[in-house]
Amino acid sequence: MSKTITIDPITRIEGHSKITLQLDDRGEVAEAYFHVTQFRGFEKFCVGRPYYEMPYLMERICGICPVSHLLASAKACDMLLAMKVPKAAGKLRRILELAQLIQSHALSFFYLSSPDFVLGMDADPKERNLFGVMQKNPELGRGGIRLRQFGQQVIETLAGKRVHPGWVVPGGVNEPLSVDKRDKILKQMPEVIEIALKALAWFKIEFENFREEIRTFANFPSLFMGLVTIDERAGYYEGKIRFTDSLGNIVADMLEAADYQQYLGEAVEPFTFMKFPYYKPLGYPDGMYRVGPLARLNLVDNCGTPLAQQEWVEFRALERNAVLSSFHYHYARLIEILFALEHIQEYLEDPIITQSHARYSASLNNLEGVGCCEAPRGTLIHHYRVDEQGLITWANLIIATGHNNLAMNRGILQAAKHFVRSEKLSEGMLNRVEAVIRAFDPCLSCSTHADGHMPLSIRLISTEGKVLDEIRRGT
């Protein structure tokens, strides 16, 4: 007789979700589903608001990566105004984005995932947390805290607040960077770069203990997608969309983010609020692709900063072509932290960064705007339409986590088939299935927008287990 195993909730991720594993008559995993059970609805309730409110409304989608929403939204508004931003403002926005990438990646790697690496996938879940890391490897714990603190301090120094800052505005930023503030950040750079290098050195030894997980954590061919700059580097703030395949071949290149509807489709499944984007020319579900740190490092031919470049070369040497195991999202995350630190230093050392002219102004010139940037978890697109008064009439958000939805679902099936044995379930088995999702670092608060498509059932069950009443919709 078939049986279902439910892992609910999935721990150490951002948001609320569960996993269902369906077993066949032999007790082997036949299907796996990643259910995202929360709903946000930002695309709907922003309708009717003036465009200039959008950056501050949209960043409220998330408390971890608000800066990405702020920037994508501000860029969409820049397009509504048909304007570019001053050079200093462009660089300041880039620093803000990289600072957020550091704090978000530090949260994912050190707070949420390092307990698995330091204490082991089979460790007692009561100890498998940052507190356990502190006891077993306090230097790593201190390093993680310092990196997250640094990222947040840079955001606060530039934008006034660590979470939900309002400093980025359509046309630029609303206050230039002072020399004092620049020097305050620059002074910290050697210390935090050293921490990132140490963490990388530690992890490159440590992940050798996770060969089985590397082999089975969403390790399969797929496309990869992300922004690439004109000089062939990962484009966190700017660039054109590139798709590559698992052999490293460029499948599509120089695509405008604004044309995303031509090459990205969005499917909806009845078991989750999260949509399933796919690469249109290959159809659904064959058009599965991955985004985020792993994809970004697979898409480019160089990393762009000296220390990160050395690490990137080692990373790409893991496999002959693209690095396919999603376990290596963790490794890629650490390399991106290093890259972001070096890049922030480069920007801050450019004299232009303290120029006083940080904002242009204009009135509404377009009725449609698209803004795109690379959020920590992958490519983020905000698309708005407005009326002649500048009021939002329609909005669509393509969220980083959503891009990975197909790969996450296929990934948990792969890991569950390998690790889960129904005759003797163990916590470690189920933790590994969760850890596949954790490797992608999904941000579910950001990514749940499939309004009106998910069937919902509410059951009233007596203490004896009898179903007393049931309401269903949308089946």
Partner 1 sequence: MNRALVLACGNALRGDDGVALHVAGCLRNGLCDPETHIQTDHQWTPELAEPISKAELVIFLDASASIAPGKIACQALQLNSNSPASFTHQTSPAALLALAEGLYAMHPARAYLLTIGGACFDLKEGLSEPVRRAIPQAIEKIKALLSEVTLPES
Which residues of the chain form contacts with partner 1 (CB under 8 A)?
Answer: 11-12, 14, 63-64, 107, 111-112, 126, 129-132, 134-135, 138, 141-142, 145-146, 148-149, 152, 163
Q: Measured from the CB of residue 206, what is the shortest distance to partner 1 in angstroms?
A: 19
Strand bridging mode 289-290 / 223-228: parallel
CA distances from 164 to 63, 112, 138, 156 (A): 7, 22, 30, 10
Q: Measured from the CB of residue 414, what is the shortest distance to partner 1 in angstroms?
A: 25
For residue 409, the surrounding DSSP H or E stretch is helix 405-419
Q: Measured from the CB of residue 128, what is the shortest distance to partner 1 in angstroms?
A: 10
* Phi and psi angles of residue 386, each rounded to the nearest 5 degrees, phi first: -130, 160
- Of 296 and 438, nearer to partner 1 (C-beta) is 438
- Of 147 and 303, nearer to partner 1 (C-beta) is 147
Q: Measured from the CB of residue 53, what is the shortest distance to partner 1 in angstroms?
A: 15
Q: Measured from the CB of residue 321, what is the shortest distance to partner 1 in angstroms?
A: 35
- Of 112 and 439, nearer to partner 1 (C-beta) is 112
* Phi and psi angles of residue 359, each rounded to the nearest 5 degrees, phi first: -155, 135
Q: Which of 276, 140, 212, 254 has the alpha carbon at shortest distance from 418?
A: 212
Q: Measured from the CB of residue 153, what is the shortest distance to partner 1 in angstroms?
A: 9
Q: Which of 123, 125, 108, 444 has the alpha carbon at shortest distance from 275?
A: 444
Distance CA 183, CA 173 (A): 19
Residue 360, Cα to own-chain centre: how many angstroms? 30
In contact, 87 and 355? CB cutoff 8 Å: yes
In contact, 222 and 290? CB cutoff 8 Å: yes
In contact, 249 and 243? CB cutoff 8 Å: no
- Of 53 and 212, nearer to partner 1 (C-beta) is 53
- Of 138 and 455, nearer to partner 1 (C-beta) is 138
Q: Measured from the CB of residue 277, what is the shortest distance to partner 1 in angstroms?
A: 26
* Phi and psi angles of residue 379, each rounded to the nearest 5 degrees, phi first: -70, 130
- Supply the angle between the helices 87-106 and 329-349 in degrees, to the nearest 10: 150
- Of 2 and 11, nearer to partner 1 (C-beta) is 11
Q: Measured from the CB of residue 132, what is the shortest distance to partner 1 in angstroms?
A: 7
For residue 403, the surrounding DSSP H or E stretch is helix 400-403
- Of 112 and 436, nearer to partner 1 (C-beta) is 112
- Supply the angle between the helices 179-206 and 329-349 in degrees, to the nearest 10: 160
Amino acid letter for position 446: C
Distance CA 404, CA 443 (A): 11
- Of 63 and 283, nearer to partner 1 (C-beta) is 63
